[in-house]
Amino acid sequence: MKTLLRDILRNESGATAIEYGLLISLVGLAAAFGMKTFGDALYNEYVYINNHLIE
């Protein structure tokens, strides 16, 4: 029983998978935030161009 518990505590493969999952989720959030910001800026440029074409 002690050996089994010791082996479970030494096994780090699950921790590595969790770390990779957290890293991927942070990269995804940063990408989504960047795309949202870029999309808003692009939309504002099109509105600016459209307003000056109408005048």
The residue ranges of every structural domain in the chain are 2-54
pTM for the structure as a whole: 0.58
| pLDDT tens-place string over residues 20-32 | 889 999 999 999 9
Q: What pLDDT score was predicted for residue 54? A: 79
User: How far lies 7's CA from each of 2, 14, 40, 43, 55, in Å?
Assistant: 9, 13, 52, 56, 74
Rounded mean pLDDT of 11-15?
A: 69
DSSP 1-55: -HHHHHHHHH--HHHHHHHHHHHHHHHHHHHHHHHHHHHHHHHHHHHHHHHHHH-
Mean pLDDT over 6-13 rounds to: 68
Residue 49: pLDDT above 80? Answer: yes
Give mean pLDDT, residues 7-15.
Answer: 68
Q: Say how far apart CA 42 and CA 1 lie, in whole Å.
A: 62
Structure-model confidence comparison of residues 40 and 8, the more confident one? 40
